[in-house]
Homo-oligomer: A and B are copies of this chain.
Amino acid sequence: MNKKLLAAGLALALGAGYTLSAVAQAKPEVLVKQRQAAMTLTGKYFGPLSQMAQGKMPYNGKIVARNAEFLTVLSQMPWDGFSPATADIKSAALPAVYKDAAKFKAAQELLQTNVGKLAAATKGGNEGAIKAAIGDVGKSCGNCHDNFREKKQ
State the A residues within 8 Å of B (CB). Answer: 1, 6-7, 9-10, 12-15, 17-18, 20-23, 26, 33-34, 36-38, 40-41, 43-44, 46-48, 50-51, 54, 56-57, 60, 63, 69-70, 73-74, 76-77, 138-139, 141-143, 145-146, 149, 152
Contact = CB atoms under 8 A, between A and B. Distances in A.
Copies of this polypeptide in the complex: 2
A23 B57 contact: yes
* Chain A interface mostly: helix
Nearest to A153: B12
A56 B63 CA distance: 40
A101 B100 CA distance: 48
A9 to B, nearest CB: 5
Given A20-B56, A51-B20, A43 B13 contact: yes
A34 B26 CA distance: 21
Contact of A14 (B22, B33, B46, B149): B46
A60 B146 CA distance: 37
